[in-house]
Every structure is written in C-alpha cells, then in structure tokens.
Amino acid sequence: MVYRFKSPAEAIAQSSERRRHKRFDLVSTGSKLGRIERGGPSLALQDCELVNLSFGGMCFCSTEELELEGQYDFLIDLRAPLKELIFARSNIRWVRSFDLHRWIIGAAILESNKAWLGVFDSPVH
C-alpha cells in the first residue's frame, strides 16, 4: 500500500517520534542537499530538498525513490546559515511517496567529514 501526502510536513507528522536528537528545520534557510552519484571517473549531484537535519539524520525530498537501507553519499550545503559545506554518508531508513514523482525520505547519518551540528546551538551572526 502506498500512502500519498499533501506536503512533506504532513508526511513527517505521520512518522513515529523515535528521535534521540533535536531536529532543525532547514526549509527556509537556503540550505541545499545534493546526492552524489558516481559514474566512472566523474561525479554528479542530484538535487534534493533538505527538510530537516539532526545530529543523527536528515529528512529530504527527492525526485527519485531511493532504496530502503541503501547507503548513499550526500553534500549538505549549509553555507547560507552556517558557512559550512559537509560530506555525509547516510543509510536510508524510510521512504514515503509524496506525489507521483517525489518521495520524502529519512536517512541516518553514518559518517561526515566534520562535526558540524554543534554550531546550531550557538547564535548565528
């Protein structure tokens, strides 16, 4: 059975609250997310819409349905709010249909190139 939601917020509200870390809403911050695709000697970025981020994971919208429990690499662009560009390897934990050509996806962050979320606890100037 496929569930269809009217918005990413509605899909997130339907998920169970099993979070260990505070989520930071990034929709209105100018932050960006790109899924890294490796094809031979070249790399390509597939644009995704970053919805929220926490110490343990992220939620995003994608025009491609990603494989549940699949491992993917992402480039998280937090330069607008924090002046940070982060590489993260993530494991897809859940995938929900958002409309006919978009999915809302939850991923656990397995590793990243730096400790970066602590700056959310500090005031941004």
Q: Which residues contact 120 (CB under 8 A, 6 or more apart)?
A: 24, 82
Q: What are the tokens at 101?
A: 């050509």
> Would you list the domain boundaries of the chain?
8-114
Number of H helices, E strands in the chain: 2, 7
What one-letter code names the amino acid at 29? T
- Reported as a single tens digit per residue, the pLDDT across 17-45 is 555 666 777 777 778 999 999 888 888 99
pLDDT in tens, 58-96: 999 999 999 999 999 999 988 776 788 889 999 999 999
8-114 is a CATH 2.40.10.220 domain: yes
pTM above 0.85, yes or no: no
